[in-house]
Structures are given as structure tokens and as C-alpha cells.
Amino acid sequence: MVRVAVVGLGKMGLSHLAMLNAHRDVEVAAVCDSSKFILQGLAKYTGLVAYSDYAAMLRAVPLDAVLIATPSAAHSAMVEAALDARLHVFCEKPFCLSPATAVALAARAADQSCVGQVGYHNRYVASFAEAKRLVDAGALGSVHHVLAEAYGPVVLKPKGSSWRTQRVEGGGCLYDYAAHPLNLVNWLFGEPQMASGVVLNPIYSSNSDDEVYATLHFERGVSAQISVNWSDPSVRKMTTRLTIWGSAGKLTVDRQELQLFIRDEVISPAGYRNGWSTLYTTELTAEVDFYLRGEEYSAQLWAWIAAINSRDLGGRNSFAAAAATDRTLDMLVRAAPAQPVAQHAGSPLLNRMRG
């Protein structure tokens, strides 16, 4: 049994809690949140042991691991405290708002043989994993351009006071939404050398960006266009899509389907034909023991528990991998032209991040 505490019981934390609680090798030994309402409700009806003080919980409860799903600005200190206690850690994305901290924590986790994982669940979406496999196998020949998109209906009018709409707290479209396609681009193509044409614009928000556009430049002339907007009411829920052009063909992939076009003159990868092939999630997705919001959410947690049991430190969403995405996020913030003062005034952390 892996004894886990779940910290931060917002939307993500609560769903992680439900999934871990359904895992046959996991004992949820404690939960922790600042909201008494949710905490006491859970304690009363589910029998979970509840804490409102993270440090007190770490001292009092014998644990193997913690899952941290608090607002992003709190991640690094909480991960550090967990590593002090030599615990395995699953942390929600984005990992750390400071890339240097992310690197340091990744190194420390590795030194201590603690399994660190970050919740970039798209890497556990079967269609994206298949895209990664195809690109790595050279199915597209030499890749020259990528379009990475994400759209969703999160902020549709001027309002909101939660941390998600404060860039200094790790909210905003860049950290909350664009982090996902950027993390996929990192997975498939590594880290960019430079960002240009960066647009971090508010549409409705007063303290953060609602749309993110940028060009990323990689080694060997590979470029990626980033187009992300979380104020798009035309989509029902978050939609993340990659389109990849290479010398041998083109690939379009989202969480539901993968469409691959392979030129006639080249040999198509096994299972695909020349011209168009389409694979659907039904064919690609492996079943999970417990389903809540999508197979990928369960799959990433099951992978974390399996890695803990086998001391596998090289998972696909390791702290080190997430630190690469933190660096890319930071690169975009630094490359963005200064916003009109009225939109981002009074944001010391942002100013500091811009250097």
C-alpha cells in the first residue's frame, strides 16, 4: 500500500482524490485544504482524515507520498516540504513559477530517489502518445513546422477574482492553458532556443492574459506556432490540438483522433497507409481500472503509483520534464513586449519575471 495525502481540494484535487481513493494499492491517509466547508464535509461522509495545516499533517501522518493540487504559486514551497520529509510527489501543473526552483527541486527529488511527477495529463492521452511515437520513429520525415493550439470557454466576461485569473499567482491563460500545448511541444521537439512574436493579451481579465500567441524556434530550423485562447465560447470544453508538418507528411492530433497524411513516395509506418489514415481514441486508448474524467487522468496517477512501487525515476512527466516547460513558459513571459501599464500595473512578480 502506498500511503498518500491529497493537498488542495479544488476541482483537480477532488478528482485526483476520488481516483486515488479508488486505486487498490493506495491508502489515502489524509487530505488537506484551507476550506473547512469541504474538509469537514469529506471527513464526516467519507471518513477521510482531514487537516487544514499542511506542515502539521506532514509531521503527524506517516506517509509515502503527497499529491499537491493547490494554487500554482504554492507549489514550490509545498513540494520542498514534501521532499524534506522524503516523500514521493505528484504536483499539479504548472510545476513552479520560477524555472530555477523547478530545476533545483527536480535535482533534489532525483538525489533522494523520490518519484516526482507533474500533472501534464495530455502526455497520457493515447492519441498524443501515438503522435510522439510516430514523430520519434521518423514517420513524418524531417519535421519543419508545428502548430500547437488550445481553445476553451473559461473567461468569457470581465469578472472573477480567483487565483486562476491572476498571473502573479500562476493563473492566466499562459500558465493555465498554454502550458498544455507547450508541454506537448516540449515532449515531441524538446526546448525552443528562442521565442518571437509573443502576444500575451488580456481580453476580459484585468490581471492576466486571456490569449497567447507566439513563434518558437528550435534547433535545425524547426518552428512552432502557438495559438491559445481561453476566452473562446464556441468550444464546449478545452480543445488541444497539434498539427505537424514534415518532409514525409502531416499529422493532426487532438485527444479524440489522429489523422496522418503520408506522401505517396515514402513508406508509410506500420498500421498506416499512404494518403490519409485516421485513428480514433476508441482504438488507441487502453482501459483504466477507474474512470472519472478521461482515461488520461487515471493513467497518469496509476503510472505515478507504479513508478513509486518500482522506484522508476524516469517517467514521462518527471519534475525535470516539467522544469523544461517552466523554462519555456518563462521564455514567453520574457519575450513578450511590455503590456500597457493599466493592464498589468501592480504586479511585482510579473515585473520580476520579466527581469
Partner 1 sequence: MVHHLDRLIFGDNQFFGVNHMSEEKARAGAIRFQETRAIMDVLDAALEEGLRSFMCTTHDRVADICAVVRANPSKYAQLQFYPCMPYAHKYANAVTEDGYLGALKRFLPDDGLLGTLFRGGKALATGQIEGLITLLVDMEMKMFAGLPTPVVFLQNVVVDLLLGLKFKHAFRIFADHVRAKYGAEPGFITMNLPMLLDQLAGQGVNNPIVCANMNMIGFRMSGGLEGYRAALATHRCRAIAMSVYASGAIPAVDALAWVAQQTNIEAVVFGASSRANIRNTIELMSVADKAHHEFGLAA
Q: Which residues bind partner 1 (CB under 8 A)?
A: 10-11, 14-15, 17-19, 21-22, 35-42, 44-47, 153-154, 159-160, 162, 164, 236-237, 239, 241, 254, 256-257, 280-283, 285, 287-293, 295
Q: In terms of CB distance, is 72 or 318 closer to partner 1?
A: 72
Strands 194-201 and 239-246: unpaired
- How far is residue 107's CA from residue 126's CA, in Å, rounded to a whole number? 29
The minimum distance between CB 281 and partner 1, in angstroms, equals 7
Distance of closest approach, residue 203 Cβ to partner 1, in angstroms:
15
**Angle, CA 52 vertex, CA 50 and CA 54 arms, to 5°:** 100
Report the residue number, 38 or 81, with the smaller CB distance to partner 1. Answer: 38
Nearer to partner 1, 306 or 353 (CB): 306
Plot region of 253 (φ>0 → left; ψ -120 to 50 → alpha; else → beta): beta
Exposure b/e, 257-275, CB count within 10 A at least 16 = b:
ebebbbeeebebbeebeee
Q: 234 by DSSP, 3-state: which?
A: coil
Residue with cell 488541444: 240
Instruction: Give the shortest CB-111-to-partner 1 separation in angstroms.
Output: 34
| Nearest to partner 1 of 32, 42 (CB atom) | 42
Pick between residue 13 and residue 192 the one whose CB is nearest to partner 1: 13
**Three-state DSSP state, 244:** strand
Nearest distance from residue 176's CB to partner 1, in Å?
9
Beta carbons of 255 and 271 less than 8 angstroms apart = no
Side-chain-facing half-sphere of 86: CA atoms under 13 Å: 4
Spatial separation of the C-alpha atoms in residues 322 and 102, rounded to whole Å? 8
| Nearest distance in Å: CB 137, partner 1 | 25
Closest to partner 1 by CB, 10 or 138:
10
Strands 116-118 vs 239-246: parallel, antiparallel or unpaired: unpaired
Give the nearest distance from C-beta 160 to partner 1 in angstroms. Answer: 5
Q: Of 86 and 157, which has the nearer Cβ to partner 1?
A: 157
Write down the least CB distance from residue 126 to partner 1, Å: 12
